[in-house]
Amino acid sequence: EIWEGHNVADYIDPAIMKKLEELEKEEELRTAAGEYDSDSESEDEEMMEIRQLAKQIREKKKLKILQSKEKNKQGPRMPRTAKKVQRADLENEMRSLGVDMDDKNNAHYAVQARRSRSVTRKRKREESVPPSSTARSRSCSRTPRDVSGLRDVKMVKKAKTMMKKAQKKMNRLGKKGEADRHVFDMKPKHLLSGKRKAGKKDRR
């Protein structure tokens, strides 16, 4: 059966219920055996906080999945990198999960955001002067096309030598450039076709 361009049979496992029952039985046996009982003394307070936070994140993720299912919308699947997340929204969400956001300026996401953009000093503009182009650091400037893909200065020199060598034949033949493909007609048809009588061999 095809539904919204998807084959339903691709998403259904005939033995899914049987596998689920087996997994549940295995989980019950492990719980009864005390396999998941961790020693409370071995875990410090920080580890307990991490476990609690991970549990809250899992619950929040499940809640978001349920909310998405309730909307019943089939939008395009966007990758995480393409979605723009506002910093304030991220901080509020982390606070709701119980994460301490006091030292948020030294957090990983804040450091990465500062590193990704080069901060340039703003110049004072006069009212009559039109805005000039913004300064760009050397790391962000575009590489010239004649040296892009070349490793070092030695390779650049070699490329220029090869280019001059390839140009020699063209210069010798008096070509205008690479696009000069003109083939001269040494015997033009309109001058050399037809019957020529005595005394008139210079033209038709």
Report the pLDDT value the prediction gives residue 160, as an integer from 0 to 100. 92
- How far from 165 is each of 43, 172, 178, 196, CA to CA, in Å? 73, 12, 14, 49
Q: Which two tokens stand for residue 120?
A: 């340039």
Q: Is residue 18 part of a domain?
A: yes
Domain containing 61 equals: 2-34+49-70+86-112
Q: In Å, how far from its chain's centre is CA 49?
A: 35
Q: Is residue 132 part of a domain?
A: no
Per residue in 63-96, pLDDT (tens digit) is: 888 888 888 777 777 787 777 777 777 777 777 7
Count of domains for the chain? 1
Q: Is residue 151 part of a domain?
A: no
Q: Is residue 201 part of a domain?
A: no
CA neighbours closer than 13 Å in the CB half-sphere of residue 73: 6
Mean pLDDT of the 5-13 span: 79
Q: Is residue 157 part of a domain?
A: no
The overall average pLDDT reported for the chain is 77
Q: Is residue 123 part of a domain?
A: no
- Judge residue 84's burial from the number of C-beta atoms within 10 Å of its C-beta, 0-12 exposed, 13-18 middle, 19 or more buried: exposed
Q: Is residue 19 part of a domain?
A: yes
Mean pLDDT of the 3-32 span: 84
Q: Is residue 99 part of a domain?
A: yes
pTM listed for this prediction: 0.27
Cβ distance 125 to 131 under 8 Å? yes
